[in-house]
Amino acid sequence: MTTNDNRRPRGALEAAVMTALWAAQAPMSATEVQHELGGDLAYNTVQTILTRLHEKNAVQRRLDGRRHTYWPVVDAATAAAAQMKAALGERSDRHAVLQQFAASLDEADAALLRQVLAGTERRRR
Amino acid sequence: MTVAVYLPLLLGLPLALAAPWIAARGAPGPAAWALSLASAIAAACSTWSLALLALTMLDDVPPLAALDNHPALELPEPVPGPVAFMAALVLIGGAARLGIDAHRRVTTHRRLRAIGDARQQAEAGMVVADWETPMAVAIPGTARRRGHLLVTTGILRLLDAGERRVVLAHEHAHLVHRHHRLTATAAAAAALNPLLIPVRDAVAYLVERWADEDAAAEVGDRGVAARAVARAALAASGSPASAALGIDGGVVVRRVQALTQPAPTPHCRRLAIPVLLSVILLGVAAATTEAFVHLAQAWL
C-alpha cells in the first residue's frame, strides 16, 4: 500500500490531497481522502498531510463524531481566481504563450473526442 | 555578394515543410529539441542575411558614396538598392514582432506568478484558483524560485482522481523539462522569420505530447491519460473564456489519438533533416559573411 509514498515528493502528496479536497465540494475524512486517491497512500500518510495542511491554514477541519473532516480554505483560492481572471480575461492572446492543459475545440473535433472517450470507457469495463 | 546571401532566407521553408511530418511520429522529446534548435539557427541565419543585405546600403552613405563614384575605383555593385531597403524593412518588422512576443510572454508569466503566496507556491508547488473555467497552467520558475502549477477548481471537479494526477503530472513535466524555453525559442524564431511559423506550432505540439507521455508513464495508464486530455478539452470548449484561445483544437485530437496508441519508439533518423539543414545554414552564413568582409574591404 505504501509503495508510492516514497516515490512521490512531499509537495506532490500535499498537492494530491488538496486537489482531492477541492474536487469533493464537501468536507472529507482522512479515510475518504485516502479512498479518493485510489488507496495508493497509507492512511497514516494521508492523516499526517491533512494535519500539516491544517497547521498551514490551507484546510479547515471540524470534529464529526469521533473523526475530523477537512475542507479547503477558500479565501486564498477566491483571490487567486480574481487575479487569474484579471491576468487572462482581458487579453485572449495571453493564452497563446501558456503551457496549459487543454485548449478549445471545434464541433468536428469534439465529436471525435467523444468517440475516443466512448471507446476507452468500453475498454475499461 | 553572391546569391548565397539569399539562401538562408529560403532554407526556413524546407524546415517548415518537414516540421509537421517530423512531429507526427516518434518520441516527442528529441524532435522538440531538434526543431527548436533548428528554428533558432534558421532564424539567426536569415536575420544575419537580412542584416548583410541591409548593410550594403552603406555605400550610399555620403562619404562612401563619394568614394563609389570615384572613376578610378571600380567597385562592385553587390545588391540593388531597393533589395537592400526591403531587407532593412523586413528586419525592422521581425524585430518589432520579436519584441511584442517577448513582452507578452514575460508579462503574462509575471502576472500569473504573482498569484498565490510564495510559501504555498514553493511548498505544495501548486496554487488553486476557485474558478469554474477548467484550466491548468504551468508557471515557469525564475532564477531564484522554482516553477509551480496554477489550477482551477473547475478542472479539479471535472476529473476523477486518476485523471487529476495526469493533469498534475503533465504540467509538472512542462516545468521539469523547461518546455517554456523550447516554445519561447521557436516562437522568437517565428517572429523573426514568419516562414518558421509551422515549426513553432510543431514545437508547441511536441512539448504537449512530451508532457502527455511523461504523465501517462507516471500514472502507468495511457487510457487514463487519454481520457484526462479529452475530457478537459471537451469541457473547456464549452466555456466562453476558452473560446478565444489561440490554439487549434485539432492538436488536442491528435494528442488523444496518440495516447490511445502504444508509446512511441525513438524514430531518431527523421531528425537528420533539421540537423542537416542547420549545418547547411551555418555553412552558407559563414560563406556569405566572408564574402561580405571582402566586399567591405574593397569599399574602404
Q: Which residues contact B53 (CB under 8 A, 6 or more apart)?
A: B5, B79, B83, B84, B87, B88
Whether residues A92 and B232 touch (CB distance < 8 A) is answered with: no
Q: What pLDDT does residue B16 have?
A: 96
Q: Nearest CA of chain A to the CA of B295: how many Å?
A: 42
Contact A77/B128, CB-based, under 8 Å? yes
Q: What residue spans define the domains of chain A? A: 1-125
- Per-residue cell: B61: 552613405
Cα separation of B209 and B224, whole Å?
15
Backbone dihedral region for residue B178 (phi beyond 0: left; psi -120 to 50: alpha; all else: beta) = left
Query: Is residue B210 packed enough to be buried (19+ CB in 10 Å), middle (13-18) or exposed (0-12)?
Result: buried
B252 and A112 within 8 Å at the Cβ level: the answer is: no
In which element (H, E) is residue A69 found?
A: strand A67-72
Q: Is A102 left (phi over 0), alpha (psi -120 to 50) or beta?
A: beta
* CA–CA dist B18, A47 (Å, integer): 53
Query: Does domain A1-125 bear CATH number 1.10.8.80?
Result: no
Interface of A with B in 61-80 (CB under 8 A): 72, 74, 76-78, 80
Residue-wise pLDDT tens digits, B58-88: 766 655 555 555 544 444 556 777 888 999 9
Summarize the confidence of residues A15-26 as an average pLDDT: 92
Task: Answer for the pair B166, B228: CB distance below 8 angstroms, yes or no.
Answer: yes
Measured in angstroms, the CA of A54 and the nearest CA of chain B are apart by: 13
Identity of the amino acid at B213 = E
Closest Cβ opposite residue B246 in set A93, A105, A114: A93
Q: SS in 3 state form for B208-274? A: HHHHHHHHHHHHCCHHHHHHHHHHHHHHHHHCHHHHHCCCCCHHHHHHHHHHHCCCCCCCHHHHHHH
Q: What is the pLDDT of residue B83?
A: 87
d(CA A33, CA A17): 7
Cβ–Cβ gap B251/A103 under 8 Å = yes
E strand or H helix that includes residue A85: helix A74-89
In chain B, at which residue ranges do the beta strands (DSSP E only) sit? 126-129, 136-139, 148-152
Angle between helices B197-219 and B250-260 (to 10 degrees): 40
Cα(B236)–Cα(A76) distance, integer angstroms: 24
**Could you list the pLDDT tens digit for every one of the 300 residues in chain B?**
568 889 999 999 999 999 999 999 889 999 999 999 999 999 999 999 999 988 887 766 655 555 555 544 444 556 777 888 999 999 999 999 999 999 999 998 999 999 988 877 887 889 999 998 888 999 998 888 889 999 999 999 999 999 999 999 999 999 999 999 999 999 999 999 999 999 999 999 999 999 999 999 999 999 999 999 999 888 877 554 443 333 345 788 889 989 999 999 888 889 999 999 999 999 999 999 998 888 778 776
Burial A74-108 (b: 16+ CB within 10 A, else e): eebbeebbebbeebbeeeeebbbbbbbbbbbbeee
Of A124, A102, A17, A59, nearest in space to B161 by CA: A17
State the smallest CA–CA distance between residue B126 and chain A in angstroms: 6
